[in-house]
């Protein structure tokens, strides 16, 4: 089995929306969006909304559980330029610990919720989020905040 061509992995609570499905996808040259999230993999309504965004960008889209992603990512064709989108740092950590070769982990939108503090303009995290991100970095992923492609990358260690 060959290494899958994962061009970017992004944490975004909103998963696939205009910014991810259009701006990021075209900027990185992806031709397949892979939403790796257990809840979304089992939610046809969420999938339908995200499929419309992918279709408007002319790219394929898949909705897989974390486990299915771990078990199947290495079967990807070399011509697939895969953009993985996860909802949480925990999802990203599980993928990396499961052997998914994630080199670049982009932190996008992480909404405020109880117990989370503002880290950047668009990212709110609690101690578990930070711990999960540190594990990803320790396992070799370049972890950084970058809201849109034009923004400068802010390495994790500069924002936490």
Strand-strand pairing, 104-107 and 142-145: parallel
CA angle 67, 68, 72 (to 5 degrees): 120
Q: What angle do CA 145, 157, 24 make, to 5 degrees?
A: 15
How far is Cα of residue 31 from the mean position of the Cα atoms in its chain?
A: 15
Pairwise CA distance, residues 6 & 34, whole Å: 10
Q: Tell me the backbone φ, ψ of residue 85, rounded to 5 degrees.
A: -120, 125
What are the structure tokens assigned to 82, written together?
């895969």
The CA radius of gyration of the chain, in Å to the nearest whole number, is 15
What residues act catalytically?
17
Asked whether the beta carbons of 42 and 66 are under 8 A apart, the reply is no
Bridge partners (DSSP) listed for residue 63: 35
């Amino acid at each position: 089995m060959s290494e899958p061509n994962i061009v970017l992995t992004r944490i975004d609570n909103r998963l696939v929306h205009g910014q991810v499905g259009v701006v990021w996808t075209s900027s990185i040259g992806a031709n397949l969006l892979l939403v790796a999230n257990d809840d979304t993999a089992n939610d046809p309504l969420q999938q339908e909304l995200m499929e419309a965004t992918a279709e408007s960008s002319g790219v394929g889209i898949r909705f897989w559980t974390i486990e299915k992603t771990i078990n199947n990512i290495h079967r990807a064709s070399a011509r697939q330029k895969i953009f993985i989108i996860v909802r949480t740092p925990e999802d990203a950590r599980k993928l990396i610990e499961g052997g998914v070769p994630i080199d670049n982990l982009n932190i996008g939108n992480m909404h405020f919720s109880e117990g989370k503090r503002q880290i950047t303009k668009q990212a709110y995290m609690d101690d578990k989020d930070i711990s999960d991100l540190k594990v990803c970095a320790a396992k070799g992923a370049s972890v950084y905040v970058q809201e849109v492609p034009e923004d400068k990358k802010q390495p994790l260690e500069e924002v936490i």
